[in-house]
Structure 1
Amino acid sequence: MLRDDKNVLPIKTGKAAERLPVVMQGETVVGCPIDDTLILVLGIGSLTSEQATVFLNGDPAMSVKVTLVSWPLKDASPAGTHGFVAIVPTNILRRGALKTIMFQHKANVTRYAFASRAASTGELIAMITDLAGSSLPSVIDGLVEGLISGPIGRKKLSAITVLLQAGARSDGCIELIGGSDEGEIFVQGWAQDLTPSVTRLLISGRSPSLAECAISVFARPDLNEQSSGFAGLLLANEIVEPNDIERLLFRGRRGWRFTEVYDRRLISGARETPSHVRAILPRVRSSTEILLRMRSAANRFDGTETISSLPFPVRMGIDHVFRVEGSGLLVSGWLLDPDNHVGDVKLRRHRGETQLDANWTRIDRPDVTREFDNKPPFNAGLDPNRHAHGFVAFAPELDGDSTAPFYVELGLSDGRRAFMPLTPTRITSRDAVVRQIRAIDPNAWALRHIVDQQLVPLLRGVNRPAPEIFGVVDLGSFEDVLGPALIIGVDERVEEIAPLIALLALDPETRRAPIVIAAATEIVDRIGVQVRRLADFYGLHLRLVSASGAEDLYDALEVGARAVSTETVVFLAASLLPRNPGWFSKLLAAYETRKECVLSPTLAYEDDSIRWAGTWVAGAQSDRALISRYAGYPIDAVTGMATTEVATATFECCVMPREALFSVDGFTRGYLGTHEKGLDLGLKLKQSGLRSYWLPSAQMLGSDDISVADKASTIALIERIDRQVFDARWANILTRDRATTTEAAV
């Protein structure tokens, strides 16, 4: 590379004709930078060896052996008998511009000065063409061999491509190109100089790339005797799309050649390519290794299910495939393989894959045993004591074309493969987990492993976008009302919202407040008519907000907060009711006293026992890092207590700065219920510097956050899963906080 004392000089280009007189003087060479560490040096002299030692800028400390490509000059010159190009590494150049170069071979030493302007690769080729004449192909061949031997970066590869485009000769054409899910590209056409072998070649096209091609040949009666058909499997060093290929450049028996892509070529997709390979396979000849690769390519997934047609006892079924956006796939099914014919089980899509059987959980499926026992091809009978045919597996989202189909691939002991197409169902993380739990016997021995190894990783990986506003309807003069917005979140637990709206309308404090009712779109469709009627009847200032992507109460509250611009918001779950009047003013007054905090009232059950009265960091003796200290006490036990700072507030009812919610990216996704989800946000706000308080004198009534549709065993599992997800995210931080709390107590 040519440099000045401080910076790398930009490459300046001119016409090749302007360089030749300079070179013909015999005392000047032209440099052509290839990349940051390599330069081609063109000159005239008497050098005919294949190697020489060079000294950059005449400095003995900057000497290196270089490869030389030389040729007899087309026209005689008093400056020398041969032209030459030296491939010179420049990483030894310490500093300063590259001004001179000295060649030493045996006892001969020749010194050259660099031309003031560097040449591009195209200009260098033009000059070599004028100097070499008919020797051009051999010169290009030598330069390519010298460049291709070492590490090849993007710039070097581009230079090699330009050289080959100038020196390689046409040899045949490509008539068919087919893609695959495994990165290999199938090519078929005809050529004269391609031999059945594994050939290293270069792909010329939108993005040049080195590749390896396993070539097989076959007879083509429509061609002359020197030509034959070829079918090859092309595997590039990087991803190459079939449409981007223009030429294949390869070294044949008589030098470098190129095979052009026919302008009317057929391009097939990954599903169609196996049939083309199967069609040509009986006609081709090559080495055993290449033929095996061709057979493997013919046996790729073409969109059809092939497991049920296997001649030996292997069968498979899929119960469901849940696709959770931003996380991955939860696959449940069974594999019957009593004789261990299956080597591996992969989930694939386009160029992405993961091995399902590496981490799946096997479960008992006696129904599968009963269904196939003593039926072909299981005529020998199945072990009546072995039923672990089922499986549940979570697979993170695969790379590759998002429109490509998913499928399961079985790798069989005889080298073949069999396939099962999959049709994933897009579903929320909560629905996926709950439906999987409901599908398993709560007494199953594998249930704990499924939770720990499949369901918890699924939830921990959730990275779905925040819920968004789908629609907004204002009822009454909402925009004209001042003061903090009261945001009511509605979830599927709330069957009747009229009592809460009536209580808010009869309370002078809340009647004048701007009220937002937010819920998922399907819930708004259900309650919308009733809300409109009540808002009109009571003259409320109300905004009805429908949310897309909302899975629970807290998602609804977050979307409600997005639909207002007030500095302060009051969150209220629609499942809660005020225990006494004045709760709204008490919350706001306590909040105004402290400013910039999260403040919540006491939550109680209808029997006046405490449900929530603050969350604290537990001591080291507790099995939970955060505890609700007064849960289960009669509400009178906290009446009269002062406002108290706590570890986290409850977002079922609280007052807080609106912007604080969005400064920590809102509620964290990936929880099944709202308890740990609320704790998670509380800790994020605490880390951001926002304090949380509990106001005992304000009290609300309500029930636990549980679904009436779920069994007790399902609810218990959901709670346990949420604890594991929460602990995985916060265990280290809470451990330090617990240690600090214990020391303070001592």
Structure 2
Amino acid sequence: MRDDRNILPITNAAKPAGNHSIVMEGEMVVGCPVDDTLVLVMGIGNFNLEHVAVFLNGDPALSLKATLVCWPLKNASPAGTHGFVAVLPTGILRRASLKTIMFQHKAKVTRYTFANRGASVGDLIAMIADLAGANLPSVIDGLVEALISGPIGRKKLAAITVLLQAGARSDGCVELIGGSDEGEIFVQGWAQDLTPSVTRLFISGRASSLAECVISVFARPDLNDQASGFAGLLLANETVEASDIERLLFRGRRGWRFTEVYDRRLIVGSRETPSHVRAILPRVRGSTEILLRMRSAANRFDGTETVSGLPLPVRAGIDNVLRVDGSGLLVSGWLLDPDGHVESVKLRRHRGECQLDGNWTRIDRPDVTAEFDNRAPFNAGLDPNRHAHGFVAFAPELSGDSTAPFYLELCLSDQRRAFLPLTPIRVTSREAVVRQIRAIDPNAWALRHVVDHQLVPLLRNVSRPAPEIFGVADVGAFDDIEGPALIIGIDERVEEVGPLIALLALDPETRGLPVVIAGATDVIDRIGVRVRRLAQFYKLSVRLVSASGSEDLYDALEVGARAVSCETVVFLAASLLPRNKGWFNKLLTAYEMRKNCVLSPTLAYEDDSIRWAGTWVAGAHSDRALISRYAGYPIDAVTGMATTEVATATFECCIMPREALFSVDGFTRGYMGTHEKGLDLGLKLKQSGLKSYWLPSAQMLGSDDIIVSEKASTVALIERIDRQIFDARWARSFGKENTVKMETPV
């Protein structure tokens, strides 16, 4: 750790506090570094000034004005009549050491040499105490006043606190401390020298801090006539916990004082503090500003709902609060405010906040109009043509205490506030989006705004971790088999995996492979028993891998790849079946000719029409960056074509180097479906230098990545959301004259 005193030359390790005779000679001074730009210089002389010209190290270029704090010596010395401490800015030194200092007043110049080693603030106070005697408090008072005049950093704040601890006098005690969600700390106690004011004070405790303070006072019959009770609000420059405060150091009418925190003080949390402020508020005295601040503190969230009790025609309700880990909260509800009394709506939690009404989406809620029309306090009646009372809002995750509750704060035009407690439900990003889409009429005018301004930002913010292996169970001698591992991914679309396992077992090219079957924990639990029976029956080597945090097919494939150590993996969606024999050897042979690539077969529907036959860069007039050129063609149209480089492969079925997947951090989170999620990974691999190929001669059969339980309108919105996220993520890559270079078919 750096010792700031070493800006002074060091030859001896003298202890200044115990041996201050070096300054009594009148030719030497002791330096006390406060921070990197400020030094306190102590000595004795024959002057009693407030400001003086100073020259450092005998260099006329190093001249400045210094503030002096002087006092008459307790014991006069031939070398001087007064002690002094100069507050010396040292920025002009540019890291040079202090060697000499000259003070010039009128025509008289006094030269001093710095002692070999600097002093700490504590040492300096001890030396001043020896020389100043009863003048110590006034000296410290002068030093503190000089130090607080400029910017106050951590080191300077620590020095001021040490000075005040030595010079301030005891005055009363703090009996109650309460926290708040807005950073202010409520204090209540008694003191003699504390007056109603808005001022600055210092907090001493586990860490020093400077705070703005609003102090009100009230009568305390249990105290003498000179003392009174006080109630105040502290807002520190940085976060201070109520339990860390030990003293409050303030400037009273008769100098600096400190109020000790009583050992048996009551510490209350942010939910209890407002009730304590409300209880003392009728008794306190202070200026209008002080009383307004105190009333505001009394009207803070204490865990209860207060909107329904407002005398104004304002009511609100919450439908859902969905919390997505790694993203934020999706809040939906309604606010009925026909006369515009609500100025802002904020989502709050501890010391974090987010204003919702700046970017929320209003939606029609005629049910709210019908419920409150002509009911108190809406006796004047509501406009039958206005129903946009509903709202949907996304808010990024708030900082603050993770155990603190969430709530809505309604700020009203008359300075009042009302509160709605929230109870978030933890859901996946996909579940949050689907639930919100289902809750809105597909024909609603606001649906597009909800998608663009609430749901898409929610998904863009997702930073959830990659899915992880939850459990592994082997059937057969899995670790003893060499060769590329066949990773079969299963998601909720697949009800029966038996036919695929049977086909793999009956195919001589795949029956001897190490097979990994991976999926979410609930999926593996559902199919695990049947898979084990089939593997044992066909004598296959199978590794069952259950995954935590897996939301779709590609998450399952990624976890399956984590469960093996071979160099090459073959991905296969459990919803696909081989169209003909030899598909595996065709993939493997084409891959070995190129190495270090991603290679996929053709995917077709059961009617032999093409579902996927390569992904290509679209033309300049297309609304999409990438397209599937042969989609919908009969499969015979591509059967005779040669292996072709494409923009991206399909990861529903492909062969690739295992490490390439993890070199780009796997699949990107935040997509609802797998189509754009696969394109995203394909482009990341291409950026890393890995080429993608399409092998027309190998063919697989399967359906689209669609959950049959979803409505067509929901599926269309999900596809649109994924497109927006993908396009925003890769817009720059396809801007200007960007193209993807591909080889000639071979």
TM-score by length of 1: 0.98
2:467 equivalent to 1:482? no
Distance in 1, Cα, partners of 2:650 & 2:736: 22
Structure 2 matches for 1:433-448, cutoff 5 A? 433-448=433-448
Q: Could you report, residue by residue, the CA deviation over 1:100-128 in whole angstroms, capped at 9, with x for unpaired residues?
A: 00001122210000001111111000000
SS in 2 for 1:557: helix
1:509 and 2:509 are equivalent in the alignment: yes
Asked if structure 1 preserves the Cα contact closer than 8 Å seen for 2:364 and 2:388, the reply is yes
* Alignment partner, residue 69 of structure 1: 69
Displacement after TM superposition at 1:17 (Å): 4.3
Whole-angstrom distance in 1 between the partners of 2:332 and 2:117 = 67
1:351 counterpart letter in structure 2: R
Deviates more, 1:294-303 or 1:8-17: 8-17
Aligned equivalent of 1:521: 521
Q: Do 1:12 and 1:118's aligned partners in 2 also have CA atoms closer than 8 Å?
A: no
Corresponding residue of 2:571: 571
> How far apart, CA to CA, are the structure 2 residues paired with 1:469 and 1:181?
39
SS in 2 for 1:16: coil
After TM superposition, list the pairs within 5 Å mapping 1:445-456 onto structure 2: 445-456=445-456
Q: After superposition, give the CA deviation of every residue in 1:690-717 in whole Å (9 maximum; x if it has no partner).
A: 1111111110000000111111111111
Preserved contact between residue 2 and residue 97 of structure 1 (Cα < 8 Å): no
Deviations 1:513-568 (A, max 9, x none): 00000000111111111111111111110000100000000000000011111111
Q: Deviations over 1:561-587 (max 9, x none)?
A: 111111111000000000011111111
Indicate conservation of the 8 Å contact 1:617/1:741, yes or no: no
C-alpha displacement of 1:207: 1.1
Deviation at 1:19, TM superposition (A): 3.9
Distance of 1:348 and 1:64 partners within structure 2: 50
Relative to structure 1, is the Cα distance of residues 514 and 7 closer, same or farther in structure 2, using a 3 angstrom cutoff? farther
Once the two structures are TM-superposed, the CA of residue 316 in structure 1 deviates from its matched residue by 0.5
State the partner residue of 1:646: 646
Paired with 2:507 and 2:452, the residues of 1 have a C-alpha distance of: 48
Q: Is the 8 A contact 2:602 2:700 kept in 1?
A: yes
Deviation at 1:623, TM superposition (A): 1.1
Partner residue, 2:470: 470
Local SS of the residue matching 1:398:
coil
Distance 1:375 1:339 in 2: 15
Aligned to 1:533: 533
Structure 1 residue 16, shift from structure 2 partner: 3.1
Amino acid at match of 2:242: P
Post-superposition CA distance 1:679-735 (Å, at most 9, x none): 000000000111111111110000000111111111111001000000010011122
Change (3 A) 1:269 1:9: farther
Question: Which SS does the other structure have where 2:61 is aligned?
Answer: helix
Offset, 1:473: 0.6
What's 1:681 paired with? 681
Q: Structure 1 unaligned runs (5+)?
A: none
Report if aligned partners of 1:13, 1:120 keep a CA contact under 8 Å in 2.
no
Separation in structure 1 between the aligned mates of residue 638 and residue 162 of structure 2, nearest angstrom: 83
| Counterparts of residues 657-676 of structure 1 (less than 5 Å) | 657-676=657-676
- 1:64-83 CA-partner distances (Å, limit 9, x unpaired): 00100000000010000000
Closer/same/farther in 2, CA of residues 372 and 267 from structure 1, 3 Å limit:
same
Shift of 1:53: 0.6
- 1:330-387 Cα deviation digits (max 9, x unpaired): 0010000111111100000000001000000000000111111111111111100000
- Alpha-carbon distance between aligned partners in 2 of 1:342 and 1:651, rounded to the nearest angstrom: 51
Whether the aligned pair in 2 keeps the contact of 1:331 and 1:392 (CA below 8 Å) is yes
Are the structure 2 counterparts of residues 480 and 95 from structure 1 closer, same or farther at C-alpha, using a change threshold of 3 Å?
A: closer
CA contact (8 A) 1:599 1:654 kept: yes
Preserved CA contact (<8 Å) 2:4 2:36 = no
Q: Indicate the SS of the match to 1:391.
A: strand
The alignment status of 1:631 with 2:631, answered yes or no, reads: yes
Q: What is the CA–CA distance in structure 2 between the aligned matches of 1:108 and 1:637, rounded to whole Å?
A: 105
The count of aligned residue pairs is 742
Give the Å deviation of 1:98. 1.2
Secondary structure in structure 2 of the residue aligned to 1:300: coil
Q: Percent identity?
A: 81
Letter in 2 for 1:16: P
2 CA distance for matches of 1:178 and 1:2? 37
Q: Does 1:87 align with 2:87?
A: yes
User: Could you tell me which residue of structure 2 aligns to residue 420 of structure 1?
Assistant: 420
* Cα 1:555–1:22 shift into 2, 3 Å: same
Matched with 1:186 is 186
Contact 1:617 1:737 in 2 (8 A): no
Structure 1 contact 619–739 (Cα < 8 Å) conserved? no
Q: Is the 8 A contact 2:10 2:116 kept in 1?
A: no
Q: Which runs of 5+ in 2 are unaligned?
A: none
TM-score (norm 2): 0.98
How much does 1:389 deviate? 0.2
Residues 208-287 of structure 1 mapped to structure 2, 5 A cutoff: 208-287=208-287
Note if contact 1:3-1:96 (Cα within 8 Å) is conserved in structure 2: no
* CA RMSD between the two structures: 1.7
Deviation at 1:8, TM superposition (A): 7.8
* Conserved? CA contact 1:11–1:118, under 8 Å: no
Query: How do 1:553-572 and structure 2 match up within 5 A?
Result: 553-572=553-572
Q: What letter matches 1:115 in structure 2? A: A
Give, in whole Å, the separation in 2 of the partners of 1:10 and 1:486: 71
**Secondary structure of 2:454 counterpart:** helix
The Cα of 1:618 is off from its aligned counterpart by 1.2
Q: Which residue of structure 1 aligns with residue 621 of structure 2?
A: 621
Does the aligned pair in 1 maintain the 2:8–2:98 contact within 8 Å?
no
Pair 674,737 (structure 1): closer, same or farther in 2 beyond 3 Å: farther
3-state SS of 1:60 partner: strand
Deviation at 1:736, TM superposition (A): 4.3
Query: Partners of 2:540 and 2:736 in 1: how far apart?
Result: 48
Instruction: Identify the residue that residue 610 of structure 2 maps to in structure 1.
Output: 610
Amino acid at match of 1:453: H
Q: Deviations over 1:655-677 (max 9, x none)?
A: 11111111100000000000000
Deviations 1:191-210 (A, max 9, x none): 11100111210001111110
Equivalent-residue separation in structure 1 for 2:204 and 2:720 (angstroms): 57
Counterpart position of 1:432:
432
**3-state secondary structure, aligned to 1:705:** coil
Q: Secondary structure at the match of 1:199?
A: strand
CA distance in 2, matches of 1:561, 1:488: 10
CA gap 1:267/1:17 in 2 versus in 1, 3 angstroms: closer
When residues 501 and 736 of structure 1 are mapped into structure 2, their CA distance, relative to the original with a 3 A threshold, is farther
Q: For 1:396-415, what per-residue CA distance to the aligned partner results, in whole angstroms no more than 9, with x for missing partners?
A: 11111111100000001111
Distance apart, 1:15 and its partner CA: 2.4
Aligned to 1:291: 291
Q: Is the 8 A contact 1:601 1:654 kept in 2?
A: yes
Contact conserved, 2:601 with 2:696, CA < 8 A, in 1? Answer: yes
* Shift of residue 739, structure 1, vs aligned partner: 5.3
1:694 aligns with 2:688: no
**1:280/1:35 Cα in 2 relative to 1: closer, same or farther (>3 Å)?**
same
Q: In the alignment, what sits opposite 2:384?
A: 384
Q: Spell out, residue by residue over 1:261-310, the C-alpha distance to the aligned partner (whole angstroms, 9 max, x if none).
A: 11111110100100111111111111111111111111100000010111
The reply on whether 1:169 has 2:163 as its aligned counterpart is no
The 5 Å alignment of 1:26-65 reads 26-65=26-65
User: Matched residue of 2:510: which SS?
Assistant: helix
Aligned partners of 1:216 and 1:230 also within 8 Å: yes
User: Counterparts of 2:391 and 2:317 in 1: how far apart (Å)?
Assistant: 10
- The CA distance in 2 between the partners of 1:252 and 1:159, in whole Å, is 20
Q: What is the CA–CA distance in structure 2 between the aligned matches of 1:524 and 1:3, rounded to whole Å?
A: 62
